[in-house]
Amino acid sequence: MKLAKMQNYVPIAALAALMASCGSETSNTTGMAYNDTDNGGFDVNLDYDGQQTGPGLVFVEGGTFVMGQVEEDFIKDWNNVPRRVTVSSFYIDENEVTNVDYREYLYWLHRVYDQDYFPEIYRSALPDTLVWRDPLAYNEMYVENYLRHPAYNFYPVVGVNWIQATRYCSWRTDRVNEQILIDEGILNEANDQLDGDHFNTEVYLYRPGSRFTAQDKKGLPDLSPNSANGDAGRPARIEDGILLPKYRLPTEAEWEYAAYANVGARVYDRSTDENKYTWNGSSMRNPSDDERGDMLANYKRGRGDMMGRGGWLNDQADITMQVRFYPPNDFGLYDMAGNVSEWVMDVYRPMTSTEVTDHRSFRGNEYETFDKNYQDLGMLEPLMEIQWETDENGDSVIARLPGQLPTRAVSQEENLDRRNYQYSDYRNYLDGDVQSSIYYDEAPPEGEAPMYDYSETTLVGNTTRVYKGGSWKDRAYWLSPGTRRFLEEDQATDDIGFRCAMDRVGFQNQDPDREKRHTPPSRHNFRRYRM
């Protein structure tokens, strides 16, 4: 997997030469030289040119926009009140994850994990192909063929629940970072990976001693005079800027911002249809001379009309369609309206708009830390068995796969002195927890009637996730990025898929000319000192 699309990447050879040069740059704090073996070996990548663009991703420059539903809410639900928020720059997949993408993941799981010993790992990742069944329709052809037949290779994968989509993102992080290290000569290719003995980004960074570190003297130069690695070098670190951040699902705010793609001109004005859809217009048909009248998205026009009349199939698809078939939006993103709806990270709440922060808005934080008890017990290698946990329904579910670092929820005792957070689970913060109610899960004072009946059930809980965008089964109303719906995270349908996103670290603009207006202190302030 060559990363042909990656930009602004520091070659390892150049990085090694920089680190090996003595005294080329000086600390603005102490006046001591960086990257000098005679001066302690403190190495700093001073020629970092910005984050590379990972495979399949498109850079989205962030900014402020009006998030929420700005069209008439004919359902009269109005749970998505418009509000102005700021989205940081980020990366997002150019198109939805396809069947062939997901089958590559399934193949890796089947190849690496012993199917006799860990059969549940592969089975838990399989899409639910039975989502195609309808008691009053004949869909067995899709049940048998949609996931695996080459005719559907580049159609969006469906039948994947939120949990499965999140695990795919984690797997993709490790495979991309592994390939980066192989391409740059830091790691050898290792096709003999088995069970817990495979490359994992967090293990590589935080658990030195794994065999997936510097091999055959292919590591980076180790400038420390007390290095135990000798000529073999050292593994890559976060400070080197070589490894990419995690692939993940986009937040609801990120997805909506990316879907509009022209948010700078978006104003809350219900008197106009401008910017109603992801292609920034009110017409559903292509206005260009070559494709005039063709549909701009794969959606349902009305009852019984999935693709138009015979002889002129206006959107060419009765169900999903291959990705990149319809025109992209102004960010270069395909199918942000129609084809399939898409999972986002957020936990659903009807009134999220009145609760969340206006910068990087998100509901769903669950804070964890690496479980150091395994190190204390002398288990230096990652946990080699599946880590299970009990969900809110009392069922056992896979929490961590073999080869991943064991984690645990942060405890309240660990955070007593913190002002910004104290708990591990903030999914229901200010909406369902103790802080958000006068009487929560306890009787009211004597003589007073209860304000709410907390014994009643609800369709919305801490495992209810948001999905965005219209699909091949939806009317045009749901194509507007401001609309939102929800589903339990362990449920799947034939019209929900997903795409991955990634954080942008550092400078928020991708233009290197704009980024280099400011010279780092060590290159500016001390030049006259060294003269």
Q: What is the distance between the alpha carbons of residues 372 and 378, in angstroms, rounded to a whole number?
A: 10
For residues 425 and 402, the answer to whether their CB atoms sit within 8 Å is: no
64, with CB counted inside 10 A (0-12, 13-18, 19+), is middle
- Quote the mean pLDDT of the chain: 79
Q: What local confidence, expressed as pLDDT, does residue 147 receive?
A: 97
Mean pLDDT value across residues 380-409: 76
For residues 293 and 263, give the distance between their C-alpha atoms in angstroms, rounded to a whole number. 26
CB 157 within 8 A of CB 345: no
Residue 377 pLDDT: 42
pLDDT at residue 394 greater than cutoff 70: yes
More confident residue, 11 or 51: 51
Q: State the angle between helix axes of 99-112 and 162-183 in degrees (0 to 180), rounded to the nearest 10.
A: 80
The pLDDT-based confidence of 6 (bands split at 50, 70, 90) is very low
Q: What is the mean pLDDT of residues 477-496?
A: 93
Q: Report which of residues 13 and 392 the model is more confident about.
A: 392
Q: What is the Cα–Cα distance from 24 to 18, expressed in whole angstroms?
A: 8
**Residue 443 has what pLDDT?**
52
Query: What would the pLDDT profile of 156-170 be if each residue is shown by its tens digit?
Result: 999 999 999 999 999
Q: What is the largest CA-CA distance in the chain?
A: 83
Pairwise pLDDT comparison (82 vs 167), residue with the higher score: 167
Q: What is the mean pLDDT of residues 233-254?
A: 93
DSSP state of 105: H
Beta pairing, strands 341-347 & 496-497: parallel
Place of tokens 């290698």: 381
Q: Which helix (H) or strand (E) holds 522?
A: helix 521-524
Using pLDDT thresholds of 50, 70 and 90, give the confidence band for residue 302.
confident
Indicate the residue type of 146. Y
Specify the higher pLDDT residue, 456 or 275: 275
Task: Give the pTM.
Answer: 0.85
Q: What's the pLDDT score for residue 215? A: 61
pLDDT for res 407: 83
Lowest mean pLDDT among 13-17, 123-127, 208-212: 13-17
Domain architecture of the chain: domains with CATH: 1-50+506-531 (no CATH), 66-184+242-364+466-505 (3.90.1580.10)
